[in-house]
């Protein structure tokens, strides 16, 4: 039995225990986040921001925070889809961090960002081919064993449909989860953006999605850019920029997904033009109201 199979019941139990709305911990709010103890049970951090010596001020601040909140760690630099394999030193650094912090969930992106030792400040897309699936599954297996934890893998936002795909995205995600035992961190905003940009129906996508593998949801804001074609027609491209309040369409899609999964942890992401803490807490409160509504309906059905 692998470490992932052994720990699966505990991981799933922890996720249900923290089925509340939360926000990402950002540097401007480190000093005041303790004031939110009565409003939040957990926070998300970006793992790479805390690969620091335990004596550094920022890490010490995080140690104080984790006495009041559970943590979910979201990796942004592992490059889980890299064809050249994973950076073993980066895996060791992440393992040390996770062993110290004991997060209830850890996650990575379905993307690549490293080639020939050069890191790009982007989460780059992949084709959904048999070859890519083999690479991704191999890397996830390696990462989960090295980290001693089950990973949640986040679906991407998409702007173009790469050619020669062998798998639709939701089926690819399902096969990935089946082969590796990983879960999904499902970004609702990313699906909303992809459906708009690539002109597909979210209902069709959700029919093929392995909803039982979802362990956490993300919601966020996005921006819109107008693109003018040579013939003068104008198209709107949605950009996943995490720089504004969550649009109503994304909230409605979250509601639809929560009816399929039941209550799960929901994170409000806001990474650019980070507002005052009160603004983020108001967004989290709105997310919590939607979680409560789903829980209430489930209670009604049970009665």
Joined together, the tokens standing for residue 22 give 């939360």
Q: Quote the pLDDT of residue 29.
A: 95
Q: Quote the pLDDT of residue 6.
A: 47
Q: Quote the pLDDT of residue 227.
A: 82
Closest CA to 257 of 198, 216, 299: 216
- 201-240 residue pLDDT tens: 999 999 999 999 999 999 999 999 988 877 877 789 999 9
Q: Quote the pLDDT of residue 67.
A: 93
Residue 142 has pLDDT above 90, yes or no: yes
Find tokens 């070859």 and name the residue: 131
Q: Quote the pLDDT of residue 91.
A: 97
Q: Quote the pLDDT of residue 1.
A: 43
Q: Quote the pLDDT of residue 123.
A: 76
Non-local (6+) Cβ contacts of 106 within 8 A are 47, 72, 73, 74, 75, 94, 98, 147, 149, 150, 151, 152
- 36-55 residue pLDDT tens: 999 999 999 999 999 999 99
What is the pLDDT confidence band of residue 194, given thresholds at 50, 70 and 90? very high
Closest CA to 22 of 218, 156, 188, 187: 218
Find tokens 């009816």 and name the residue: 259
At residue 253, the 3 state secondary structure works out as: helix
Sequence spans of domains, the chain:
3-302
Q: For residue 203, what are the CA distances in angstroms to 55, 155, 186, 187?
A: 49, 16, 15, 16
Domain at 3-302: CATH architecture: Alpha-Beta Barrel (3.20)
What is the pLDDT confidence band of residue 303, given thresholds at 50, 70 and 90? very low
Residue 301 has pLDDT above 60, yes or no: no
- 62-117 residue pLDDT tens: 999 999 999 999 999 999 999 999 999 999 999 999 999 999 999 999 998 777 66
């Amino acid at each position: 039995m692998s470490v992932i199979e052994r720990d699966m019941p505990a991981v799933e139990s922890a996720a249900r225990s923290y089925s509340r709305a939360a926000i990402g911990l950002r540097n401007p709010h480190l000093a005041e986040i303790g004031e939110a103890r009565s409003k939040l049970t957990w926070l998300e951090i970006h793992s790479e921001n805390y690969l620091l010596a335990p004596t550094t001020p920022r890490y010490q601040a995080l140690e104080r925070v984790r006495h009041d909140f559970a943590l979910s760690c979201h990796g942004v630099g592992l490059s889980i889809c890299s064809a050249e394999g994973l950076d073993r030193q980066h895996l060791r650094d992440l393992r040390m961090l996770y062993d110290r912090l004991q997060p209830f969930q850890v996650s990575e992106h379905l993307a690549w960002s490293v080639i020939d030792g050069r890191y790009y400040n982007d989460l780059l897309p992949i084709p959904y081919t048999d070859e890519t699936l083999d690479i991704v599954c191999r890397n996830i297996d390696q990462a989960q064993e090295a980290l001693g934890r089950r990973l949640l893998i986040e679906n991407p936002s998409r702007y173009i449909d790469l050619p020669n795909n062998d798998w639709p995205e939701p089926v690819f995600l399902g096969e990935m989860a089946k082969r590796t035992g990983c879960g999904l961190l499902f970004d609702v905003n990313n699906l909303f953006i992809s459906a708009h940009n690539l002109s597909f129906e979210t209902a069709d996508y959700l029919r093929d999605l392995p909803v039982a593998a979802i362990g956490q949801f993300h919601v966020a804001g996005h921006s819109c850019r107008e693109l003018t074609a040579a013939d003068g027609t104008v198209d709107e491209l949605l950009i996943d920029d995490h720089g504004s309040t969550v649009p109503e369409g994304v909230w409605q899609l979250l509601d639809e997904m929560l009816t399929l999964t039941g209550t799960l942890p929901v994170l409000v992401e806001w990474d650019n033009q980070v507002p005052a803490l009160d603004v983020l807490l108001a967004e989290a409160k709105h997310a919590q109201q939607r979680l409560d509504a789903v829980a209430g309906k489930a209670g009604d059905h049970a009665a």
